[in-house]
Structure 1
Amino acid sequence: MAMPESAHGDNCKLEEKLSLELHQELPAVVNELVASCGTKECFEHISPVPLPSREAVVEIVTRSRKALFPGYFDGHKIEAVNLEYHMGMVLMKLYDTMADQITWAVRHDCFRHDQSCTHCGDRGQRAALEFVQGLPEIRRLLTLDVLAAQEGDPASGGVDEIIFSYPGLFAVTVYRLAHLLRHLGVPILPRMMSEYAHAHTGIDIHPGAEIGNSFFIDHGTGVVIGETTEIGDHVRLYQGVTLGALSLSKEEVESLRGAKRHPTIEDNVIIYSGATILGGKTVVGARSVIGGNVWLTESVPPDTKVFLEKPQLVYVGSRRPGKDTA
């Protein structure tokens, strides 16, 4: 039996009344949240000084990739006749965005640490120009990284496939951009960039790490490279590799902040999936091979292979693989 039209109207009025009553509870929550701002119970940035923007950081990465790999990430055709115009537009927009973000990052650091004036606007523009001037060298390094991926992965369908789709190359590209910014003394932004790549790929490369040329991360998910890691040339890592620090107490963390805490990987080393290499004094010598799931906290001489002993497999069931069951 259909409900009378008046009953529908009554229900709507009851719902509106309930909604109004619930909305009236919100100011108390607002007051409580506002009251905790400025106390130790709240991390906040209530200030006329703007913070760097995560969206702008993503834009910087996107524009940088357009400059580094012209034609791959532009969404429109680029020909020789319009390449110079295209590159000029990309770099101009990249420079302007970068100058603003660096200025805000430096200004925020000054206010946060109560520093004297560091001329943040001037620093922002100069650092932005130095960043753009560093792109040709980053392109040279990335060309070697692409070639290393092509040579190291028989499943590769060519350089186009690597540039378009390999998460390792994306993470290394962002790392090289963030690493340059860190060398320029820019706060906050390098880590924001690296964490964007981390969220996008599952590969965590701290911008402070020092990585040589022809670097290849195959598959990549779960790779962690710590802040003071040093990696030579022609190194290859597989998924799940950790180049990390030993666990420290709270007191040790403060005393070792900025000190060498992560391993050194010399030239032409291969590290297979799941390997964990820890400690600032740990050195993996050149041309060594570290097998899967190895745990290392001590140095390895050059030309050494480190593998776990083959585990004994236990089969449960009436048939074993490889046995004649006829």
Structure 2
Amino acid sequence: MSQWNINNIVNELQAARNEWRTKQKSLKDFGGRELPSKEEIKKIMSDLCGILFPMRLGPHDLRQQSENYYIAHTLEKTLYALHEQVSLNLTYDHKYRKNAGNLEESVQTAQEIVKTFAEQLPALRRILDTDVIAAFEGDPAARSVDEVLLCYPGILALIYHRVAHEFYKQGLSLLARLIAEIAHSKTGIDIHPGAQVDQGFFIDHGTGVVIGETCIIGKNVRIYQAVTLGAKRFEVDEEGHLQKEYARHPIVEDNVVIYAGATILGRITIGEGAVIGGNVWITKSVAPNSAVSQSSATKSQV
């Protein structure tokens, strides 16, 4: 007999699972395995990085002469793997979420979703190029665009975010969140896949950055570490449950700079060209071309 009382622990764990499943009355057939795989998504994202930037994020022995061959081979493999994960997400939505539609029809859309995503890859590459240039031009410590692409966590976070956002737009929230959380664990940068981020976005240093689901970020915005673009409060319904489908995060217009540690909360607007100083707390809209420091922010929020 095991000195660890294994059988008792196994039985108690089963009882705990059964209690949990019984409480989740809104989920039918809870406990199935029709879920996207985090490990498979990690592999897919690694391959997508190589497809988008083959000579920098692809295999170390790749040469330009064989770029197209590598991309074609890797893309074929990756899209099949992605198709499986999309299908799992659609199956999960059908079984465990309300108003998910017909299962057969949902699964049939997986190929169309993956095809649409694949056709977006050139556009994704072009907008990511603007992010790389923004980082190179925005950081005096950057010696080359290669250094930016290989070393800057903000660029890796944006590659993952721009991919995740495409799936979020297709309603694949679980798949999108998994991609976002893989990036979060790699970089310390937490961007919800629902956030709308325009071109030329630069996250310098990046650790501790949080960008909420309904954020809208304009062109050529620059932010630093520990910036939060979050919600001021959480609305609830008559039964006290959190509301989920409403705009609750900031709008940041074009050419804004937000320095380290700034916290910007609620559905407010940071006007075009504004400069937000470090460690400020902002819950009211900021006019275009304004400069907000700790002292001015304290006075305006009192």
TM-score between both structures, scaled by the size of structure 1? 0.83
CA contact (8 A) 2:214 2:250 kept: yes
Task: Using the TM superposition, give the Cα deviation of residue 76 of structure 1 relative to its aligned residue in structure 2, in angstroms.
Answer: 3.5
Deviations 1:34-64 (A, max 9, x none): 23333237889632x4311001111121111
What is the number of residues matched between the two proteins?
A: 288
Deviations 1:55-113 (A, max 9, x none): 11111211110111012223333334322211111110110111000001110111113
CA contact (8 A) 2:30 2:96 kept: no
Distance (whole Å) between structure 2 residues aligned to residue 71 and residue 190 of structure 1: 26
Distance (whole Å) between structure 1 residues aligned to residue 18 and residue 196 of structure 2: 39
| Residue of 194, 218, 221 corresponding to 1:208 | 194
Q: Which residue of 2 aligns with 1:29?
A: 9
CA contact (8 A) 2:194 2:213 kept: yes
Q: Which amino acid aligns with 1:266?
A: E
CA contact (8 A) 1:241 1:273 kept: yes
RMSD of equivalent CA atoms: 2.1
Task: Using the TM superposition, give the Cα deviation of residue 230 of structure 1 relative to its aligned residue in structure 2, in angstroms.
Answer: 0.6
Matched, 1:39 2:19: yes
Distance (whole Å) between structure 1 residues aligned to residue 232 and residue 49 of structure 2: 35
Q: Which amino acid aligns with 2:157?
A: A
My pick for the range that moved more, 192-201 or 123-132, is 123-132
Q: Which residue of 2 aligns with 1:121?
A: 107
Q: Which amino acid aligns with 1:222?
A: G
CA contact (8 A) 2:51 2:58 kept: no
1:7-26 equivalences under 5 Å are: 20-23=1-4, 25-26=5-6
**What secondary structure sits across from 1:96 in the alignment?**
helix
Distance (whole Å) between structure 2 residues aligned to residue 26 and residue 45 of structure 1: 25
| Residue of 73, 89, 111 corresponding to 2:95 | 111
| Residue of 270, 273, 276 corresponding to 2:257 | 270
Pair 29,273 (structure 1): closer, same or farther in 2 beyond 3 Å = same
Pair 21,263 (structure 1): closer, same or farther in 2 beyond 3 Å = closer
CA contact (8 A) 1:110 1:118 kept: no
Q: Which residue of 1 aligns with 2:300?
A: none
Pair 227,73 (structure 1): closer, same or farther in 2 beyond 3 Å = same
Q: Which residue of 2 aligns with 1:60?
A: 44
Q: Which residue of 1 aligns with 2:219?
A: 233
Task: Using the TM superposition, give the Cα deviation of residue 256 of structure 1 relative to its aligned residue in structure 2, in angstroms.
Answer: 4.0
Structure 2: where are the runs of 5+ without partners? Answer: 297-302
Distance (whole Å) between structure 2 residues aligned to residue 92 and residue 21 of structure 1: 49
Distance (whole Å) between structure 2 residues aligned to residue 228 and residue 158 of structure 1: 33
Distance (whole Å) between structure 1 residues aligned to residue 76 and residue 261 of structure 2: 43
Q: Which residue of 1 aligns with 2:120?
A: 134
Deviations 1:259-300 (A, max 9, x none): 1100100000000001111111x1111011000011110011
Deviations 1:4-25 (A, max 9, x none): xxxxxxxxxxxxxxxx4415x2
Distance (whole Å) between structure 1 residues aligned to residue 204 and residue 96 of structure 2: 40
1:154-233 equivalences under 5 Å are: 154-233=140-219
| Residue of 77, 83, 86 corresponding to 2:61 | 77
Distance (whole Å) between structure 1 residues aligned to residue 79 and residue 2 of structure 2: 51
**What secondary structure sits across from 1:233 in the alignment?**
coil
Q: Which residue of 2 aligns with 1:299?
A: 285
How much identity, in percent, do the aligned residues show?
40
CA contact (8 A) 2:21 2:30 kept: no
Matched, 1:308 2:294: yes
**What secondary structure sits across from 1:178 in the alignment?**
helix
CA contact (8 A) 2:168 2:193 kept: yes
Q: Which amino acid aligns with 2:31?
A: I
CA contact (8 A) 2:270 2:286 kept: yes
Q: Which residue of 2 aligns with 1:102?
A: 86
Distance (whole Å) between structure 2 residues aligned to residue 136 and residue 254 of structure 1: 41
Pair 45,210 (structure 1): closer, same or farther in 2 beyond 3 Å = same
**What secondary structure sits across from 1:188 in the alignment?**
helix
Q: Which residue of 2 aligns with 1:322?
A: none
CA contact (8 A) 1:149 1:218 kept: yes
Task: Using the TM superposition, give the Cα deviation of residue 247 of structure 1 relative to its aligned residue in structure 2, in angstroms.
Answer: 2.7
Task: Using the TM superposition, give the Cα deviation of residue 251 of structure 1 relative to its aligned residue in structure 2, in angstroms.
Answer: 3.8
Pair 302,143 (structure 1): closer, same or farther in 2 beyond 3 Å = same
Pair 21,203 (structure 1): closer, same or farther in 2 beyond 3 Å = closer
**What secondary structure sits across from 1:200 in the alignment?**
helix
Task: Using the TM superposition, give the Cα deviation of residue 309 of structure 1 relative to its aligned residue in structure 2, in angstroms.
Answer: 3.1
Q: Which amino acid aligns with 1:37?
A: R
My pick for the range that moved more, 75-84 or 133-142, is 75-84
TM-score between both structures, scaled by the size of structure 2? 0.89
Structure 1: where are the runs of 5+ without partners? Answer: 1-19, 311-326
CA contact (8 A) 1:109 1:187 kept: no
